[in-house]
Chains A and B, each alone.
Chain A
Amino acid sequence: MGGGKAVIAPSAALGDVVIEAIGIGKTFPGTRALDGVNLTVRAGRLMALLGENGAGKSTLMNILAGVFPPDEGTIQMDGQSVRFANPQRALAAGIGIVFQELSLIPYLSVAENLFLGREPRSASGLIDTRRLLAESTAALQRVDLAVDPTTLVADLRIGQQQLVEIARAISAHVRVLILDEPTSSLSGHEVEVLYGVIRELKRRGVALVYITHKFEELAAVCDDVTILRDGRVVGTALFRDLTRDAMVRLMAGRDTTELYQKVAFTPGEEILRTRGLSLTGSGVGRRFLVDQVSLSLRRGEVVGVFGLVGAGRTELLEALFGLHPDRVTGELVVEGRAVRFESPADAIAAGIALAPEDRKRDGLVLPMSVAANASLASLDRALRAGFVSERRESSYVGPYIDRFRIKIASLNQRVVDLSGGNQQKVILAKWLATAPKILLLDEPTRGIDVNAKREIYAFIDELARAGLGLIVVSSELPEVLALSDRVLVLREGRVTAEFARADATPERVLHAALPDSSRVAS
């Protein structure tokens, strides 16, 4: 790669191009994640990558860091085409990445984590512990982290773990460093330390790519901005040439009408109400995952819940569904009666159903058939003289399968072989068989192709008109806007805004979801 040690020019006006992505395309089953994306990263400069959830930022970073290859396009490093089989190869070539989800091994020490896979060895071939500790101490000093390198990672706070992760990338002497929302769990001081590290890296000619939702961070460290939307680059500019409003407009601007046209409908009486609903975290911090949420849902109404990753969207639904009885506080009223759910079974008995975000992990029993999955929540209806009658089962499950137009060869087909869209419909069929009054949908169209998406939207609308109340959680802004009669915006577990359908513009909703700069700066 570029013949031995690359000579890095002192930061010139723009700096040399270190890494360049040209025409990158990537398709996942059901979604076009990236389409013809170009990205140029220069030595000594920080390129911020902005975009909504699902815009393709993380996919692009994973491709740059060798986590998976692109379907189309090339990546050039120092003008030469490169292709990495795995992140270790990318790291060896000088590309480091700090993931948003921590990728440290909890029960190894800080030092062992820092040099995992590239441990210094002594002549005997064993790990050279003295050098390991010495180099670890040096690496930790650079991120101003005063912990003993022999400490177990599990004993560190999340923010400290994040700094260890950053120290690990730096200590590999990378030429390109990718940071995916690195400040999400850092304290104010730690953020300042990070800025210092970034400035130092820039001085040394390292090229940085930085993914964030927090605009106020950009001013401190950013040089260039690339904005992604729906897997395409919609703008690249010098940071100083862009206003915050211009960036939000570029991130959000999308026509929602192309997705789906909602049929106007007047909701009925209130069916669900919460007051001060809170959910505490189970970790050491005990912070609120859902914080004093008060909401109301009427029959025939679709309430959309929007928020960025970590805003507490899924946790809100879980709290409503009786999943964490010991950690939930606040009032919950269903059909005018105050209730308290000790388990999902209680919630189901009260007429609530939840279609979870991760269908394969939480929604379906993959080895079982379509019929068995669809009848699982309502098996009593299939009993004859106390025994499960398969004929009775298929005769009551069948109509739901037909209603959702699930494409299957037979009811006995294994659910694992279905497409994402059809799997989601099996889950919907399962819940409708329990005759629910309230349907909670968590990312109902994640990983589903466009046509199935439209179908699901139509079903949501149809169910609302049939008198169900629906709460739809989504990280896709156009989806929330297209489906909802009302939009609630969550941020850090709190409702920060509520919009009627007519008032919910992409810009306003996104503004309410993004972290408040004044609060962070103080």
Chain B
Amino acid sequence: MPESKATAFLTRFRSLLALALMVIALSLLSDRFLTPDNGWNILRQISVNLCLSIGMTLVILSGGIDLSVGAILALSGALAAGVLKQGLGIPGTEWMLQFTPSGAILVGIGVGAAAGWVNGIAITRFQLPPFVATLGMFSIARGLTMLWTGGFPITGLGDAFGHLGTGALLGMPTPVWIMLALTAVFVVVTKRTRFGRHLYAVGGNVRAARLTGLNVARITTAVYLLAGALAGVAGLIVTARLDSAQPNAGLGYELDSIAAVVIGGTSLAGGRGSVAGTVLGCLIIGVLNNGLFLLNVSPFWQQVIKGVVILLAVALDKANARNRDA
């Protein structure tokens, strides 16, 4: 099927085009939209979703899904805040381990990675469908968070830790630094490493990957581990920004991250998509939320509109796929 260069270009950069159109429209509709402050605002707002969404991209590229990232976010944040504030008692002794802010950060990321690893083991060793395995982890992590916090926020975490959420370096907010660094790292990981290539192969055709000698179980486990660790990072940012670990943090965030990945053009069937696309997906959602807020659109309508955008994005993707295969 011959395709003109213009159409090919439009298809390729459709999300980018949509984003540009949204920015232009919102600039015309609101004089508060196109200001430096609002720009940083949007980036800061999407940083948490982007951390989760990068992990979700890896998971979805591998042909899976992870419903537990929002819950892992809450658990990581709560544990990091808890050990930072009160230390960690060693059972059966009088000893208390005290944690520096850096130590607490490692705890948060480590807990996320551990939860993700358990997801990976459940999926590869025990052959659970990713949907079920991560649904289980969702409930486990939510429950553990409640047990750890007793249902109350942990607050007063200090400036050093708070810097993670509210600080800035060279004029750029810390969460934005983190987000940019993670994006750069995972663009390279997916596009330029053996692991990345194998990840696309496993998601694109797991049977062929296995018959080519790839260690499918190890690759899959690594993917969920990374998604968990990234959820841990997101948990730290959320906690630091509020200077408090909320037991209910991250509720429903897994769905936002799936939305960003899908809007970014990654196929839920696996094997097709990119981290760069997900960045665009997050930006589209972020700009949309911000713009609708500035235009005083009711938050209830915001949800409806976001839903419509998701459906449109995927419907367009499907139409494209049909054209390609015809």
By a beta-carbon cutoff of 8 Å, the part of chain A in contact with chain B is 321, 323, 343-345, 347-349, 354, 356, 361-368, 372, 375-377, 379-380, 383, 386-388, 430
Contact = CB atoms under 8 A, between A and B. Distances in A.
Contacts of A363: 208, 211
B211 A362 contact: yes
Interface residues of B, number: 24
Interface stretch (B73-81, B87-95, B173-181, B194-202): B194-202
B197 A376 contact: yes
B271 A368 contact: yes
A363 B194 CA distance: 19
A345 B213 contact: yes
B125 interface: no
Contacts of B272: 367
A365 B204 contact: yes
Interface centre among B197, B200, B204, B212 (most CB of A within 10 A): B212
Contacts of A387: 188, 192-193
B146 interface: no
B41 interface: no
13 contacts: A321-B211, A343-B213, A344-B210, A345-B213, A365-B201, A365-B208, A367-B204, A376-B214, A383-B194, A386-B193, A387-B188, A387-B193, A430-B212
A225 to B, nearest CB: 40
A375 B213 CA distance: 12
A76 to B, nearest CB: 34
Given A361-B208, A365-B205, A430-B212, 8 more contacts: A348-B212, A356-B211, A362-B207, A365-B208, A366-B204, A367-B272, A368-B200, A372-B197
A344 B200 contact: no
Contacts of B27: none
A331 B86 CA distance: 61
B322 to A, nearest CB: 14
A377 B192 contact: no
A419 to B, nearest CB: 15
Q: Majority SS of interface residues in chain B?
A: helix
A4 to B, nearest CB: 43
B215 interface: yes
Contacts of B212: 344, 348, 376-377, 430
B209 interface: yes
Contacts of A362: 205, 207-208, 211
B62 to A, nearest CB: 12
A364 B210 CA distance: 11
Contacts of A345: 213-215
A380 B213 CA distance: 13
A364 B205 contact: yes
A361 B207 contact: yes
Contacts of B188: 387
A65 B194 CA distance: 49
A379 B215 CA distance: 13
B22 to A, nearest CB: 29
Contacts of A354: 211
What are the nearest 6 A-B pairs in CB distance? A365-B204, A345-B213, A348-B213, A365-B205, A367-B271, A387-B192
A364 B206 CA distance: 10
A165 to B, nearest CB: 28
Contacts of A344: 210-213
Contacts of B191: 388
A48 B204 CA distance: 43
B201 A388 contact: no
Interface in B180-236: 188, 191-194, 196-198, 200-201, 204-205, 207-215
A41 to B, nearest CB: 38
Given A344-B212, A361-B207, A377-B212, A388 B271 contact: no
Contacts of A356: 211
A295 B192 CA distance: 43
Contact of A376 (B201, B207, B267): B201
A365 B213 contact: no
A329 to B, nearest CB: 22
B72 to A, nearest CB: 29
A362 B191 CA distance: 23
A323 B210 CA distance: 9
A375 B209 CA distance: 12
Contacts of B211: 321, 323, 344, 354, 356, 362-363
A372 B192 CA distance: 12
Nearest to A363: B208
A365 B209 contact: yes
